[in-house]
Structure 1
């Protein structure tokens, strides 16, 4: 492990005697899970977690009722709350989130999977003010309907969900004990420019629909894109433990989005250079002169191979051998050690 400055503010919680054995179930990542990111089925949730419920949460912003999935064992002992966010093109019944609810069932955590205005293709979705408030309202719903330990409220997302997780963490840092963002989008306007090279993809049409137009510089749509992007707020999350992870071969969101997010939260001496980030984006490999480690205590041999790991202040960055993906065990084992002081 490289020596990095800053003091980690999370405190170690009780570590489970056995790690979650998702590998024994035939998967360790969302790509290996026996359902795609697009598949949504409440029956699949009920098969794995019979106590999970569909609930309706009234927005404190506009009064609209948004659905969510909620799990609570009913025990009265204060417990952690895991808030899991769906990704860009799916909604709250997204099946690849089921393993997180399985962990919560096995360890008596509460779990909530809010809809936050659904797929990212309309103005009220895509990290809008309404969507952010939906997530805050989901936390408050859980606190009102379960015995929640307020020092152990956790947030997880991947892709568009990771983008939203970083926004809500930055705008409401008082809530969270730990935040995990897999393959996040840091800046919607930059990602829009990147997708111009891939005109067959649907994402830019969805971005335009969400922002009210093409996000060209000096336009209202561009300003709206910045307002919905983590890059605008992320420095506000500097006191929260944040875990960023990105696949080196990701062709949907360049790995530099996670690296740039790391640079915002890290001590200046520990940031990655523009040259290194550009090299990684272009070559999909590490430059020889980049100092780091390939060891990480939260990744087992069945998880994606760690190519680079660095910690600084309250932020952790992992670049792994893989694509647009997330791994369950590292997420949950790391979160389990985080606690607000």
Structure 2
């Protein structure tokens, strides 16, 4: 279903990458400034279905044109899927969710929202939130239902989903975050210790750490209208942080934050310190919770507002389960 057919051969890509770096070096360019162009080059491929189109949407924030990949359903007033790109990706990063949207004739948008998270205009800035809202508004104006918005994101897309959940002017029916980042200060330390390149990105988009709080959804206030929003489902693979780049504590801590804001008796619903330690130390199920797809669930907690599932896996989104779960509202 998702056949790989890249626009450029690997050899051609490598030649162009070397050429871009060489030209940049000769011109004295900062290599970090070249990264967005290289990301676009490496991720833009022919996997996109021929019914997916590239369009431009003017920004309500600064007038810049935001490029997006989109599918316009054949029927009017159909559901809208908003799929958010990963940390180092942008709008051209192939997204398999698009295939399911087309198959079910749902409106679909894969916005750019200022591209890779490697500079101060990205990383959940006000411009990012405005760009996502602009993309949603565009699709509603072109036939999508305002009452059937579904938002999903993996990794950096899950990070942006948390931010969208807290700040967007639109209320989705369901938000699904997979392997999400919640705290950039915490993640900076985790990536620095492991020598991951994400550390440089975090420093670049937070003014060398001065803006950790303003770019971390775990630090943001909870809006009064939070209970009017659709269900927030948070998924994390138990081995993420070992095999992957984002420890499960990001998902657990953000879940607990929402519980504290929406539930009076938090004790039965929060993930306790003891439960967190058991998951981190033993990586074993804390009960019998069933499965998602063929994966055992290690911990599951939920209220009408938020759900957390820690499952047997790593830094990943489990398909087709993720799409099916998104559209049935996490139930």
TM class, shorter-length: 0.7 to 0.9
**Cα pair 2:171 2:230 within 8 Å, conserved:** no
State the TM-score, normalized to the length of structure 1. Answer: 0.77
Range 176-185 or range 312-321, more displaced? 312-321
Q: Secondary structure at the match of 1:278?
A: helix
- Name stretches of at least 5 consecutive residues in structure 2 with no aligned partner: 4-38
**Cα pair 2:155 2:181 within 8 Å, conserved:** yes
Larger Rg: 2
CA deviation string 1:33-76 (max 9, x = no partner): xxxx995234220xxx2111100111100111111001013323
Cα 1:113–1:234 change in 2 (3 A) is farther
TM alignment of 1:109-188, pairs within 5 A:
109-145=106-142, 147-172=143-168, 174-188=170-184
Post-superposition shift, 1:194? 1.7
**Cα pair 1:157 1:164 within 8 Å, conserved:** yes
Partner residue, 1:19? none
**Cα pair 2:213 2:220 within 8 Å, conserved:** no
Cα 1:337–1:68 change in 2 (3 A) is same
State yes or no: 1:202 paired with 2:192.
no
Larger RCO: 1 or 2 (CA < 8 Å, sep 6+):
1
Backbone CA RMSD of aligned residues:
2.3
Partner residue, 2:284? 286
1:152 and 1:73 mapped to 2: Cα distance? Answer: 13
State yes or no: 1:249 paired with 2:239.
yes
**Cα pair 1:160 1:185 within 8 Å, conserved:** yes
Partner residue, 2:26? none
Post-superposition shift, 1:320? 1.2
Post-superposition shift, 1:316? 1.2
TM alignment of 1:323-334, pairs within 5 A:
323-334=314-325
2:189 and 2:319 mapped to 1: Cα distance? Answer: 31
Q: Secondary structure at the match of 2:122?
A: coil
Paired residue total: 283
Post-superposition shift, 1:234? 6.6
State the TM-score, normalized to the length of structure 2. Answer: 0.79
Q: Secondary structure at the match of 2:320?
A: helix
Identify the match of residue 233 of structure 1 among 209, 217, 220.
220
